[in-house]
Amino acid sequence: LMLPLLVIMGDAIALYGSALVENFKGNVSFVLYFNRVFDALDYRDLVPATIKSFFFGFAIGLVGCFKGYYSKKGTAGVGLAANTAVVFTSMLLFVIDFIAVFISDIFYDL
């Protein structure tokens, strides 16, 4: 449940950081910057990424719990379970992202 909130917070921090850089380097005011940014943003830029973060968070939690529950005894078993959880989750997130992009392209073409 926290991953979508972290994505939204990260997006907000990135927008604020880029506004600071444009203010210092390019002499662009904050009001002008945010007006231009929000005029250029579309719901297609924000909604799919936020929805994907729910699925990413679910996959990370599910794989981590599964691998942790079925780990072998001892520190070596826990280390192996953590390593395989990271590798498996990375591949699973790649597949989930591929499917999500495919589905969002179908809906945007309608």
Mean pLDDT by 10 residues, the chain (110 residues): 88 92 89 91 80 91 93 90 95 93 77
Enumerate the domain spans of the chain: 1-41, 42-110
89 closest CA partner among 66, 63, 69: 63
pTM of the model: 0.75
Q: Give DSSP secondary structure letters for 18-75.
A: HHHHHHHHH---HHHHHHHHHHH--HHHHHHHHHHHHHHHHHHHHHHHHHHHTPPSHH
Q: Which amino acid is at 78?
A: V
**Hey, CA dihedral for 90, 94, 99, 104, is it positive or negative?**
positive
8 Å CB contact between 33 and 19: yes
